Amino acid sequence: MSEPIEEELPERKMLSGTALRIATVAPLIPLILWMMFAGPRWPWHVFIFTAIAVGGYEMMAMMVPSSRGLRLWGSVSSVAFAAALIFLSSFAHVYGVVLLLIFATMVLGMLQDDPLHNASVHIGWLLATPIYVGGALATVDLVRDFPPTGAWVLLAMALAWGSDTAAYFVGRKFGKTQLAPRISPKKTLEGAAGGLAGSVVCAVIISFFVPELPVVDAIALAVIAGVAGQGGDLFESVLKRSSGVKDSGSILPGHGGLLDRADALVFTAPVTWAYGTFIAGFGG
C-alpha cells in the first residue's frame, strides 16, 4: 500500500522589513496628524503620556532587566516628571515634584533584593530615566501650542526623521568613512552629512508655513538639532550595546521599541522647544 502523497502547502509570505515598517505606522499617521493639528488638547496629552510611559518602561527594561517593579517605576516617574513640566507653571511646584521623585527613587533603589553593589546602578538609572524620557518627550507636548498649532511638532519630527532618512540613503550610497565604529559600525561621516542636509531641507520647507521661523533661523536650527539628533541616535546605540540588546523593545513591529524610533526626537524636540521659547518668544 502506497503512502499518501502529502500536498505541499504554499509558503507563507512574510512582509519585508521596509513593508512591515510602513504597515505598522501607516494606520497611525492620520490619527497623529489629527491630534497634532485639529484635535482637542486632551488626546495629544494622552498620546504623549502613553509614549512616555512606554519609553520609561523600555529604558529600565534595558538597564535593569531583573526587576519588573523598577521597570514600572520607570514609567510612573517619567510620566510624573513630564506632567509636572507640562501642567505646573510654578517652579516651586515642579521642584517639589522632583524632590518627591528623587526621595522615592532612592528608597525604591535601596529596597531591591539584588546585591548591594547594584544599588547605585539602579538608583542612577531611576533618576536618569525621567529626565531622558519624560523631560525630553514633554517638549513634544509643549511645542504643539506654539503657533500655528502643530507646526512645531511637525518641525521637531522632521528634524529627527528627515535626518534619519537622508543619512540612511546617503550613507548606503556613498558612505565610506565610519563615524563611530565602536558604537555603530554602519554609520558613516558621509551619511551624517547627508542627514544634516536632510534636516536643513525639511526645516526650510516648513519655515515657509511658520512666520516665526525665518529661513536663516531655520537653517541654523536644523544644523543644531540635526547634530543633536544624530547624537541621540548614537547615545541610544551605546545604551543598547552596553545592555546587550538589539532593540529597546518590540512594541512597533519592524521598528523595535518606541525608543528606537524616538532616539533622535528626544534630542531634536528640546532644541525646537528652546528655540520657540527663548528666540521666537512664545511658549514660556
As a whole number of angstroms, the distance between CA 173 and CA 177 comes to: 12
pTM of the predicted model as reported, rounded to 2 decimal places: 0.87
As a whole number of angstroms, the distance between CA 241 and CA 8 comes to: 42
Give helix 41-63 / helix 28-37 axis angle, nearest 10°: 120
Which residues have C-beta within 8 Å of that of residue 108, sequence separation ≥ 6?
69, 70, 73, 126
> What is the rounded average pLDDT for all residues in the chain?
86
Query: Is 206:148 a contact under the CB 8 Å cutoff?
Result: no
Is the pLDDT at 116 greater than 90? The verdict is no
Question: Out of 17-31, 137-151, 207-221, 239-253, which region has the weakest mean confidence (pLDDT)?
Answer: 17-31
The number of beta carbons lying within 10 Å of the beta carbon of residue 158 is: 22
CA-based torsion, 82, 231, 190, 220: positive or negative:
positive
Q: Strand 178-180 vs strand 184-188: parallel, antiparallel, or unpaired?
A: antiparallel
Is the pLDDT at 14 greater than 60? The verdict is no
For residue range 54-87, what is the model confidence (pLDDT) as tens digits?
A: 999 999 998 888 778 888 999 999 999 999 999 9
Burial class (CB in 10 A: 0-12, 13-18, 19+), 6: exposed
Percent of the chain with pLDDT over 90: 57
As a whole number of angstroms, the distance between CA 88 and CA 100 comes to: 15
Confidence of residue 257 (pLDDT cuts 50, 70, 90): confident
Please report the pLDDT score of residue 228 as a whole number: 94
| Cell numbers that stand for 145 in this block | 501650542
User: DSSP letter string over 194-252?
Assistant: HHHHHHHHHHHHHHTT-TTS-HHHHHHHHHHHHHHHHHHHHHHHHHHHHHT-SSS-SSB
Is the pLDDT at 25 greater than 80? The verdict is no
As a whole number of angstroms, the distance between CA 69 and CA 284 comes to: 35
CA-based torsion, 112, 117, 120, 121: positive or negative:
negative
Residue among 220, 207, 195, 203 at smallest CA distance from 157: 203
As a whole number of angstroms, the distance between CA 137 and CA 131 comes to: 9
Instruction: State the distance between the two ends of the chain, measured CA to CA, in whole angstroms.
Output: 85
Identify any residues that bridge with 188 across adjacent strands, giving them in sequence order: 178
As a whole number of angstroms, the distance between CA 1 and CA 18 comes to: 49
Going by the DSSP 8-state scheme, the letter that residue 187 receives in this structure is: E
